[in-house]
Structure 1
Amino acid sequence: MHWFLSLCDFYFRRKILQQAPPLLASFKLTYRCNLACKACPFHQRKHEPRSHMSWDTAMAVLATLKQRGCSIIIFEGGEPLLWSDGEHTLHDLIKYARVHFLRVCITTNGTMPFDVPADGIWVSIDGLRETHNQLRSDSFDMVWENLCASAQSNICIHYTLNRKNYSEIESLLQKLSHIPQVRGMTVQLFYPYERGEEDLRLSDAQCRDALTHVLQLKQHGYPILNSYTSLRAMMDNSWHCQHDMLINVDPDGSITSGCYAQTRGRVDCSACGFTPVAEASLALRLVPGALRAGWSIFSHPDEGYCFSQSLTISTW
């Protein structure tokens, strides 16, 4: 009920009071990482000054986000599980943030145990073993071991479609179906930051083929958590970006509103692959499928999808 009332309050402030509270904060705690993934520009920044946030800075930033009315915090990196400051660990930061925000989640490369007290955990896997290892520093076996060993029930796989892995998503979903801890998968497209990462972008034809296949998998009952509406919209970028719902935090404590890429690489809306932004933008327009997707992703496990459940197929 608290989740529902909080979202009603968010929509009331946006739609009726004409205020612009952010919905979600992408909160980068550190650029430090134990991998050097080919699609990622952030690990290359780990030697920059102030590339690892202090506890005091994190407290100050969270206070600012609360004051601005932010609802959801996503702790990212680098690798957020590498974050600590003195006696403070990521566990401490998550516990503190959960007192003040509606949902607190993390994204991780999955190479370390991730039994943290977050509301949701995204684990990045980018293909079957050989492809994932090529893209993500030979880490597949470690990630798989941690998935199987986890006691969590709020795990989602995050899959970034690129020209090397877009044909492997169905096989990976079949493999994941044997891990009951995994609730489902979110999908986005590779984005060219042009900050030293390998260019893995899909051609227009590959993008359409990949997203068409993802839609078919969803129709066949695979727990793809993206909505039909957002996946179709991503084919030709036929959606209006409500970027003011987003707020970005970098390890130096800087806070910017708007596009995820604006302080992290070049901004090219025609190449946008950020399906979460499309989903949130459509949800703000009260598109039913996007609203349902948001509920499925951020609700507690017994309220959302999982591989072991039969899914109701929708045309939204």
Structure 2
Amino acid sequence: MMIFYLASWFFQTRFLGKQKPLQTVLFITDQCNLSCKHCSVFNHQNPTIKSYEQIREELQYSYDLGSRFVDFEGGEPTLWRDGDRNLNDLIDLAKEIGFFTSTVTTNAQRPFDWLKANSIWVSMDGIHDYHDAVRGQGTFDKLIENVKGSGHKALSANMVIDSNNYVNVADTLEFVKQTPAFQSIAFNFYTPAFQKEKDPLILDWDKRREVIDYLIAQKKAGAPIMNSRSGLKKMKDLKFKKVCWMCNYILPDGTRLNECVGKSYNVCEQCGFCMAGEMRSVMNFCPDTLLSGLNLRHQN
């Protein structure tokens, strides 16, 4: 079923020029239990927590657009509640509507062994002090405790690389290799939420290219890196035609965007969201990217 849909979707978008999303990033709350330095999606004063019915409508809307993969995000999505319903009810709902798979992105500060998502992405911005410098003292130890206790078979780390932690990329990759609970790790580069020419967290382009060259070499050597080599190469200079309509976004306040939120913030020239390169590589029919995507979106 999934393969047939993907083939049809590719034909319609690649050869008929239709712009149909394949993936939905759905922010279900901006409530969070951390205040990470590089994040703009947390609200400790008056958090937005969407209702089950609102999320149902947003899922159906996205499905009708063409999306078949949903990523539940926050804030911290495991905090979401509506009466006696929790995140598993949203995962069941997405499956009921027809989504092939669902993914949850978590900071892993709470146990998540109860989650039924097909895949779980753990935000881990380096190891030990590098992670704690971004997310708070003690957060790395708590993350590892919950990762090792999760028992989930499709668990991956996601590292946002910035000007402070880029020197820890190699050690982080090695840590993932040595941690059986992790299946793989994805790498992105810090992108400012708003246009900031002198944001101190932005990694300069020369260092960014060095990191990408390292990741490509490690990927070629068999390292468990989620990014494809084709996608990584495109992120070295961003000189490719964007196809960011492949993913639609629904923000905590209900705003619906038919492409990456970065365009609204006018930060595309500083883009570090490596899915941009992956999406372009899909449209270019790069075999390694297609294989990475299928491995990522496996059904269980």
Question: TM-score category by the smaller chain?
Answer: over 0.9
Give the 3 Å change call, closer, same or farther, for CA 54–220 of structure 1 in structure 2: same
Q: One-letter code of the match for 1:41?
A: S
Contact 1:163 1:202 in 2 (8 A): yes
Contact 1:71 1:102 in 2 (8 A): yes
For 1:176 and 1:186, the matched residues in 2 are separated by 11
- Who is 1:204 aligned against? 205
Unaligned segments of structure 2, at least 5 residues? none
Instruction: Classify the secondary structure of the residue corresponding to 2:235.
Output: helix
For 2:126 and 2:80, the matched residues in 1 are separated by 26
Cα RMSD (Å) of the superposition?
1.9
For 1:15 and 1:260, the matched residues in 2 are separated by 23
For 2:174 and 2:244, the matched residues in 1 are separated by 34
Matches within 5 A, 1:45-124: 45-47=43-45, 51-99=48-96, 100-115=98-113, 116-124=115-123
What's the offset of the Cα at 1:16? 4.5
Q: One-letter code of the match for 2:228?
A: S
What's the offset of the Cα at 1:17? 4.4
What's the offset of the Cα at 1:118? 0.7
For 1:172 and 1:247, the matched residues in 2 are separated by 30
What's the offset of the Cα at 1:228? 0.8
Q: One-letter code of the match for 1:76?
A: E
Question: What is the TM-score normalised by the length of structure 1?
Answer: 0.88
- Who is 2:267 aligned against? 268
- Who is 1:3 aligned against? 2
For 2:149 and 2:22, the matched residues in 1 are separated by 32
* Deviating more after overlay: 217-226 vs 25-34: 217-226
What's the offset of the Cα at 1:278? 1.7
- Who is 2:192 aligned against? 192
- The alignment covers a number of residue pairs equal to 295
Contact 1:160 1:188 in 2 (8 A): yes
Give the 3 Å change call, closer, same or farther, for CA 252–148 of structure 1 in structure 2: same
- Who is 2:150 aligned against? 150
Instruction: Classify the secondary structure of the residue corresponding to 2:72.
Output: strand
Question: What is the TM-score normalised by the length of structure 2?
Answer: 0.92
Instruction: Classify the secondary structure of the residue corresponding to 2:10.
Output: helix
For 1:233 and 1:101, the matched residues in 2 are separated by 29
Q: Deviations over 1:274-316 (max 9, x none)?
A: 1112201220221222212211221258xxxxxxxxxxxxxxx
Unaligned segments of structure 1, at least 5 residues? 302-316
**What is the identity percentage for the equivalent residue pairs of Structure 1 and Structure 2?**
27
For 2:266 and 2:295, the matched residues in 1 are separated by 29
Matches within 5 A, 1:238-253: 238-253=239-254
Q: Deviations over 1:34-68 (max 9, x none)?
A: 0111010111x4545x7221111101111111211
- Who is 1:222 aligned against? 223
Instruction: Classify the secondary structure of the residue corresponding to 2:156.
Output: strand
- Who is 1:170 aligned against? 170
Q: Deviations over 1:72-117 (max 9, x none)?
A: 1110011100111111110111111123201211111111122311
